[in-house]
Amino acid sequence: MKLKALLKAGVLGVSTLAMASVAAAQDKTIRIVGFGAASGVVGIFGQNSSAAMSAAFEKINAEGGVELADGSKAMIETEYYDDRCNAEEGISVLRRIASTDALVAIGPTCSNVAEPLFGILQAKVDDEGDTGLQFPVFTDVAIKGGLAGISEWVFRNTPSESQMYDDLFAWLRTNHPDLKTIYGGVEEDFAHSRFTWYSVMKTAAEKHGFEVVGEAQWLLSDTNFSNQARGMRRAEPDVVAISAHPFTTCGMLREMTRQRIQPKILVGLTSSSSLETLSGCANEAEGLTIPTSFAPVNEEAKAAAEAVVAKGGQMDLHSASAWENAMILKDIIEAAEIGGTPETLEEDRRKIRDALAELENAPGLLGSNKRLPDGEAVKPYVFVHAKDGSWDVLHNPGS
Amino acid sequence: MDFYFGLAQIFGVHTLLGLSAYVVLLTGQVSMAQAGFYAIGAYTAGAMTAMFGLHILPAIVIAGLVSAAIACIVGFPALRVKGLMLVVATLAFGEMVRLFFFNLSWQVERGGELFGPDGAEGFRSIRYFPENGWEVWHVTVFIWIVVAVVMAALWWMDRTRAGAVLRAVGHDEVAAQSIGLNLTAVKVGAMTAGGFIAGLGGGIYAHTVTHIEHGVFGVLLATFAIAYPILGGLGSVFGTLLAVLFIQGFLIEGLRFMGDWRSLLFGALIVLAMNLRPNGLLGEHAPRLKSILRLGKPAPDSLETKDAN
Amino acid sequence: MLTLQSLSKHFGGVRAVDDISLTIKEGEIFGLIGPNGSGKSTTINLITGLYAPTTGTVTLDGYDLTAMAQHERTAMGVARTFQNIRLFGNLTVAQNLWVAQNGHEQRRAHFLPRWFKAGGEHGPDIEELLKFSRLHSKRDVQASALSFGEMRRLEMARALASNPRVLLLDEPAAGASQEDGQLLAERIRDVRDRGVTVLLIEHMMELVMGISDSIGVLNFGRKIAEGSPAEIQANQDVRAAYLGSKHKDEDLIHA
Amino acid sequence: MDYFFIIDFVQSLVDGLLFGTTYALIGIGFTLIFGVMRKLNLAYGAAALAGTYIGVAAFLAFDAPPPVVFLLSALGSGIIGIVVYYCCFRFTPTQVPMASLLASVGMLLFIDEAVVHASHGMPVPYPSVFRNAIIEIGDIWVRGDLLFVFGICVVAMGVLFWLLYRTPLGLATRAVSQQPRAAALCGIDPTRVNLLTFGISGVLGGIAGAMTAAAVGVLSPIIALGLTVKGLIAVVIGGLGSIPGAIIGGLLVGASENIFLLLRGVTERDIYVMLMLFLFLTLRPGGLFGSTAGRD
């Protein structure tokens, strides 16, 4: 009996959701849906994104909403789906979003969801032979380099790390001409960490005359770093770059303190410029220098950060992208002159995609975002460092 | 509509994963290696289509055979132990497979692009379905034909002496030996069959998600594999199917509207289900075709099993 | 026919079976008795291969079984029942017999087809065995739902289903009443009349003395006597061994 | 063989052995539960983690001193262990081992998610003692905090041995684990013994979790899985049901893990640990200290 009731509830749950979204489209509203990891170990990312998105849409709606092709105004409706950072769930969620009247989706959180997700989309627009899903996705968080190239339906507003780190090392070279050697630390089983160290940081460091004297590798759930730190101690590097999650970043930093390794400069992964690292090990992280595409350096950014906090989230480089995506989409929708009716749904999605593809510059919180033809973005950034338990802007190349 | 078809694909793939553990569980062995076989199938089938341009059907059959062969080889040492030792041994094997693919880089060039597993980066662009004009529902129908064939084969096997033998070994190994059953042969046979089914499932999985990486095939997936048949009950293949629908359909998809409370409820409901129905949702006894057909007469009462030890 | 040659089994320092030699002739009922812990069950386990002997050999018709696995011994024609009944409770009565149809005669002929043949639980052999064991009406009942006596009968039938040449019965009368004992004696004779040699381990003296053609007596893992029932009853060593533990044994029989 | 290699080798061995005590504790917990119930409690690592979080909550809320935090971690984990017993083992029938196995999996997922829910998955600092104390023996550095971890684990094991071999409670526990039926006939209430076993092993898990977190200095939900897997391997290598076996197994896993890391790098490290386990199972199915009939 109980089982039957449970199953019934499940079926009801699935169908009411689908129906609710249809019913809501009756008066002038359009839907933009967010998705990503809102539970599990990385759930905090999705929760922040979700808060940023709804704060941004609330702001847009308060200012009158979005203008449609016929000149009328529409409110933006949004909701956020949890994919638990699981590839199958992510695909399922996107299919579900595409089956409703949503115009475009913002997400996902995890690069390992993004990769399969982009794979089920049509690779090239108008490719008759490709039956991939035709739905625009505008990614805020999944940051691993080069993913947008998988499909022409994908656009990303994640910062391009290669430019940021290139600039960071150039800046280090200028400001600290005495620094010669660099030692890398990388979380081997985490795609983003690997990519950033091997393809971004290392290249950039070598380009600006640093000598890579060694690499330390560890895994996501490692708890013992003494072997890795010992190699680092012997190499006596001037710069140590750590490309890892906050948990192991903290573990490694602690081990470095213990083994009295004192590099002159510590460089971190851009994702580490969030609250987590500081909540885990503020003391050891002191001085950790990171390029990031968000810091509350101007009025607009401060206001946005406050709005997100009011929604129960935190503003960091990831959720800032979610905020910006919402704002960019508003402009895109107005410029694309969409119908906003159920009949024009397919057409509207295509218009949004085309408009995103043609976009070359978009306003961001820190200044103008440059859009690349392959769907990636180059965003303004600042260099921050950890100081007294918070992220302090060290240098703002844009100003 | 594509959403529901997509969901049906997930159900199908997970049913195969669950059935692969079901066959092994019939002999009383809890194998945590199913995620490993699934991974072998996924990488093999992916390589067959993406790297060597094979058709999907031979690709998944080869994937199944490769997994079966490895399951057979692993079965001999692993099945020397049982109970908790076997759980840990198979878990270790599954992790070894995962780490093997974590370290495996082998790419070939096709049409100017590199295809193949690339270590921690995973195996990208296994896009046989979209590139060959398969609509979502085509894929769904294809998967369910495979699932139906496997389920029918297992259902039929359960009617044959082989099925009774598996269950006999699962119930009491000492007695099974005393009547002349070769335990090693039976267990390794079940493991091989399980490996084949897991290989098929993994092969299909790789194509439905287009990108696979070692992290997917971890302990959690192995746990899911055994969870399906245990939750559903070992009575018949339909227990596994029901459990897949319950977990993937209700707990994961149906409760999505609950936000992050869903994940909390997920574990709690499994605990509850096992307390209320310890023998699984559909129970542990094989429903006899006869008693199903003979609806008028009450089926023989299945009393609580006596502890045979 | 079945020969044990200086068979020993040591568990650590304990000599559960110590240098036992026995010969069981074709077609006889051989009773193996002894006080508790005298090594009777261990002997059965050594014959069926559940334990590997420390020293000594087991031969059947001149074939050495000692190195064989349990299932190979069954194929050679050794079958057994258990002191504490071990049925496949998750299978029906007929299926219990079906899975045991492993006998040496059909063994090699058609391996795969036999494994994957459906409905074999209705074969003529099984029907006959069901009748023989008076379980015909229960053929589709789950074995776990049988009564105690029915379980005993099914277990013996299952052993017979593997088409054995020698059947080892491990205390078949345990837990049975006096009247059941009578029926059991008839049943064992019936089994012998089917051409199966029987090795009977039993506490119930009446039963063993009544039906055995020859008897072996164990005490502390050693064979202390062997001979016809009359000889055994007259044997001083046997009396001594049994007097020492008489009360205990009787307690067990009536428990 | 150059000097640095020898130093590294010895250093890895020392670090690994010291850290291995946490695996040993988890292993003992598994073995205790298996001993009295013949069942596998997969929620064990998660319970240990949750207990550790209870300790850290006190640290964050009241700035509690490290000993209090460690104590709370241990006690918290013990209580969660008892909850796990009631949810997964008390009411599932004994003859259906898979029911409790899957229930404990459900519990594992639930506890993990509850921890994530409460902590937002954020890593939190965990107090450690002797954090920067290092004993230098030539070029070998022995970490003060690891020595502390080692010491606490050894004390925990000592207390456990005292409990098991010097108290009536221990006698009852050992009786149940060796002869459950006879123990029940002697008037020992198996439920009470089970309950206590889950409590005690929970406390051990909590200590292991606390010590792991103290050694890293940070606590994150992702350490639960590693502890579970390594603890299980320690048990199997040592031999199921054997406490000395679990200790040796834990030390062996800790040391070999570190040495494989040194020799083969981090991506292959665990392959060799698993391979070692596989070899053990093939060559000695009963484990190091398992009985010859311990294939069960």
Q: Does C146 touch chain B (CB under 8 A)?
A: no
User: Picking from A47-56, A129-138, A288-297, C123-132, which range would have the lowest pLDDT averaged per residue?
Assistant: C123-132
What is the average pLDDT across A21-45?
Answer: 79
Q: Please give the pLDDT value at position A22.
A: 46
**Of C71, C96, C144, which has the smallest distance from its Cβ to B305's Cβ?**
C144
> Do B18 and B229 contact (CB within 8 A), yes or no?
yes
CB contact under 8 Å between C86 and B157, yes or no, is no
Q: Six-digit token pair at A52?
A: 């940023």
> CA of B278, closest CA in chain A: separation in Å?
14
Partner residue facing C86 (CB), from B172, B183, B300: B172
Q: Is D276 within the bounds of a domain?
A: no
Please name the member of B121, B245, B260 whose beta carbon is closest to the beta carbon of A191.
B121
How far is CA B305 from each of CA B279, C96, C174, D92, D221, rounded to the nearest angstrom? 10, 15, 21, 14, 40
**Helix locations, D167-265, DSSP H:** 168-178, 180-185, 190-216, 223-238, 243-264
Q: Assign domain C1-77+164-255 to a CATH class.
A: alpha beta
Host H or E run for residue C178: helix C178-193
Residues A52-73: pLDDT tens digits? Answer: 999 999 999 999 999 999 889 9
Calculate how close chain C gets to B230, using CA atoms only, in Å. Answer: 16
Bridge partners for B117 per DSSP: B123
Q: What residues have CB less than 8 Å from A306, skipping those under 6 apart?
A: none
> How far is B232 from chain D, CA to nearest CA, in Å?
11
Residue D62 lies in a domain: yes
Distance of residue B260 Cα from the nearest chain D Cα, in angstroms: 8
Q: From the CA of B254, how many Å to the nearest CA of chain A? A: 5
Interface membership of A254 toward B (CB under 8 Å): no
For residue A82, give the nearest of B102, B260, B281 by CB distance: B260
d(CA C76, CA B201): 41
Q: How far is CA C114 from the centre of its chain?
A: 26
Under an 8 A CB cutoff, do D233 and B92 touch? yes
Contacts of A139 (CB under 8 A, 6+ apart): A106, A107, A108, A114, A147, A148, A154, A155, A156, A157, A158
Cβ-Cβ contacts under 8 Å, B281 against chain D:
none
Q: What burial class does residue A79 get, using C-beta atoms within 10 Å of its C-beta: 0-12 exposed, 13-18 middle, 19+ buried?
A: buried
| Cα–Cα dist B134/A131, whole Å | 6
pLDDT of residue B300: 41
Total Cβ atoms within 10 A of residue B199: 32
CB contact under 8 A, B131 and A82: no
D267, A224: Cβ pair inside 8 Å?
A: no
D277 reaches B (C-beta below 8 A):
yes
Half-sphere exposure of C47 (CA within 13 A, CB side): 32
Per CB-CB distance under 8 Å, the chain D contacts of A42 are: 121
Taking the CA of residue A367 and the nearest CA in chain B, the distance in Å comes to 33
List CB contacts of C92: < 8 A, sequence separation 6 or more: B288, B300, C121, C139, C140, C141, C142, C143
Burial class (CB within 10 angstroms; exposed 0-12, middle 13-18, buried 19+) of D62: exposed
Query: Which chain A residues are Cβ-neighbours of B122 within 8 angstroms?
Result: 112, 115, 191
Chain B residues touching residue C126 (CB < 8 angstroms): none
How far from B285 is each of A49, A64, B161, C170, D103, CA to CA, in Å? 49, 64, 16, 29, 20
Topology agreement, domain A9-159+296-378 and domain A161-292: yes
| Position D98 in a domain | yes
**pTM for the complete prediction?**
0.91
Architecture of the domain defined by A161-292: 3-Layer(aba) Sandwich (3.40)
- D217 interaction partners in chain A (CB closer than 8 Å): 250-251, 254, 281, 284
Q: Report how many domains make up chain D.
A: 1
- How far, in Å, are A273, A319, D60, D160 from residue D119 at the CA level? 19, 19, 11, 32
Burial class (CB in 10 A: 0-12, 13-18, 19+), A346: exposed
Determine the pLDDT at residue D189: 83
A361: which strand partners? Answer: A370
Say what the pLDDT of residue A4 is: 53
In DSSP notation, B185-248 reads HHHHHHHHHHHHHHHHHHHHHHHHHS-B-GGGGSHHHHHHHHHHHHHH-SS-HHHHHHHHIIII
Secondary structure E strands in chain D: 124-125, 134-137, 140-143, 218-219
Domain ranges, ordered by start, for chain B? 2-218
B293 vs A: CB within 8 A: no
C-alpha A198/C-alpha A214 separation (Å) is 12
Instruction: Confirm or reject contact between C252 and chain B (CB < 8 A).
Output: no
- How many beta-carbon contacts under 8 Å exist across B and D? 140
Query: Residue D263 domain-assigned?
Result: no
On whether residue D149 sits in a domain, the answer given is yes
Considering the domain boundaries, does residue D93 fall inside one? yes
- Give the whole-angstrom CA distance, residue A370 versus residue A376: 9
Measured between CB atoms, does D7 come within 8 Å of chain B? no
Is B258 within 8 Å of chain D by CB? no
C–A touching, 3+ CB–CB pairs within 8 Å: no
Give the residue numbers in D contacting A (CB under 8 Å), as ranges. Answer: 4, 8, 11-12, 15-16, 19, 113, 116-117, 120-125, 131-132, 134, 141, 143, 145, 212, 215-218, 220-223, 225-226, 258, 261-262, 265-267
Furthest C-alpha separation in chain D: 64
Based on DSSP, count helices (H) and strands (E) in chain C, helices before strands.
11, 10
With beta carbons under 8 A apart, name residues in chain B contacting C142.
285, 300-303
Which residues, in sequence order, are bridge partners of residue A76? A30
| Contact predicate B41/B223, CB 8 Å | no
Task: Please list, in sequence order, all residues whose beta carbon lies within 8 angstroms of the beta carbon of residue A49, skipping any fewer than 6 positions away.
Answer: A34, A36, A80, A106, A107, A109, A140, A141, A313, A318, A319, A321, A322
Instruction: Report how far residue C68's alpha carbon sits from residue A123's, in angstroms, rounded to the nearest whole number.
Output: 62
For residue range C49-71, list pLDDT tens digits in order. 988 999 999 999 889 999 898 88
List the CATH number of the domain containing D151.
1.10.3470.10
Give the residue carrying structure tokens 């000097």.
Answer: D3
For chain C, the domains span 1-77+164-255, 88-162
Contact in structure between A306 and A285 (CB atoms under 8 Å):
no
Distance CA D169, CA D197 (A): 10
CB nearest to B213's CB, from A84, A112, A130: A112
Q: What is the number of alpha carbons within 13 Å of residue D273 lying toward its C-beta? A: 35
Nearest chain A residue to B98 by CA: give it: A189
Per-residue confidence (pLDDT) for residue A23, from 0 to 100: 45
Q: Do B159 and C100 touch (CB under 8 A)?
A: no
Instruction: Chain A: give the shortest CA distance to residue D238, in Å.
Output: 23
Partners of C100 on chain B (C-beta within 8 Å) are 179-180
A123 with B127: Cβ contact below 8 A: yes
Tell me: the pLDDT tens digits for B64-115? 999 999 999 998 887 888 888 888 899 999 999 999 999 999 999 888 888 9
Of D291 and A316, the structure prediction assigns the larger pLDDT to A316
* Cβ–Cβ under 8 Å, residues D70 and D55: yes
- As assigned by CATH, the class of the A9-159+296-378 domain is alpha beta
Q: Mapping DSSP to helix (H, G, I), strand (E, B) and coil, where does residue A267 land? A: strand
CB-CB contact of C24 with C212 (8 Å): no
Which helix (H) or strand (E) is C21 found in, with range? strand C14-24
**pLDDT at position D293:** 39
CB-closest option in C92, C121, C162 to B179: C162
Cβ-Cβ contacts under 8 Å, B1 against chain A: 99
Which of the four pLDDT bands, split at 50, 70 and 90, describes residue A252?
very high
Instruction: Specify whether the CB–CB gap between A210 and A179 falls below 8 A.
Output: yes
Q: What are phi and psi for residue A297, nearest 5 degrees?
A: -95, -10
Cβ distance of B209 and A81 shorter than 8 Å = no
| Contact criterion met (CB < 8 Å) for A226 and D15 | yes
Nearest to residue B125, comparing CAs of B113, B135, B136? B113
Nearest chain B CA: its distance from C30 CA (Å): 20
Residue C38 CB neighbours (<10 A): 23
Confirm or reject contact between A125 and chain B (CB < 8 A): no
Whether the predicted pLDDT of A340 surpasses 90: no
Radius of gyration (Cα) for chain B, nearest Å?
20
Could you give the CA distance from residue A274 to residue C88 in angstroms, rounded to a whole number? 60
Residues of chain B contacting A195 with CB distance shorter than 8 Å: 121
Whether residue C71 and residue B157 make contact (CB cut-off 8 A), yes or no, is no
3-class secondary structure, A237: coil
CA nearest to A5 within chain B: B250
Identify whether D103 is part of a domain.
yes
Q: Residue B281: its chain A contacts at CB < 8 A?
A: 3
How many other C-beta atoms lie within 10 A of the C-beta of residue C250?
Answer: 12
Per DSSP, which regions of A315-374 are E strands?
361-364, 367-371
Phi then psi dihedrals of residue D251, to 5 deg: -65, -40
> A229 CB contacts (<8 Å, ≥6 apart)?
A216, A252, A255, A256, A258, A259, A261
Q: Which residues of D touch B103 (CB under 8 A)?
A: 267-268, 271
Q: Which residues contact C124 (CB under 8 A, 6 or more apart)?
A: none
Give the integer Cα–Cα distance in Å for D38 and D28.
14
Amino acid at residue number A161: E
> Which regions in chain D score pLDDT beneath 70?
1, 290-296
Alpha helices in chain B (DSSP H): 2-26, 34-46, 56-78, 84-103, 128-131, 136-159, 161-171, 173-178, 183-209, 219-232, 237-244, 261-276, 289-293
Question: Domain of D96?
Answer: 23-219
Physical contact, B and A (3 or more Cβ pairs within 8 A): yes
**Residue-averaged pLDDT of chain B:** 89
Nearest Cα to Cα of residue B163 among C97, C117, C163, C104:
C117
Please give the pLDDT value at position D20: 92
Would you say the ipTM is above 0.95? no
Could you read off the pLDDT of B5-19 as tens digits, one per residue?
999 999 999 999 999
Q: How far is C99 from chain B (nearest CA, A)?
A: 6
Q: Is B94 exposed, middle or buried (0-12, 13-18, 19+ CB in 10 A)?
A: buried
Say which residues have a Cβ less than 8 Å from residue A180's Cβ, sequence separation at least 6.
A210, A211, A238
More confident site: A192 or A241: A241
Q: What are the angstrom distances between the C-alpha of C105 and each of A199, C61, C130, C165?
A: 69, 16, 20, 11
Measure in Å the smallest separation between the Cα of B92 and chain D Cα atoms: 5
Angle, to 10 degrees, between the axis of helix D243-264 and the axis of helix D266-283? 140
The residue type found at B261 is: W
| pLDDT per residue as tens digits for the range C185-219 | 999 999 999 999 999 998 778 888 889 999 999 98
CB atoms B170 and C121 under 8 Å: no
- Answer yes or no: do B102 and D267 touch at CB < 8 A: yes
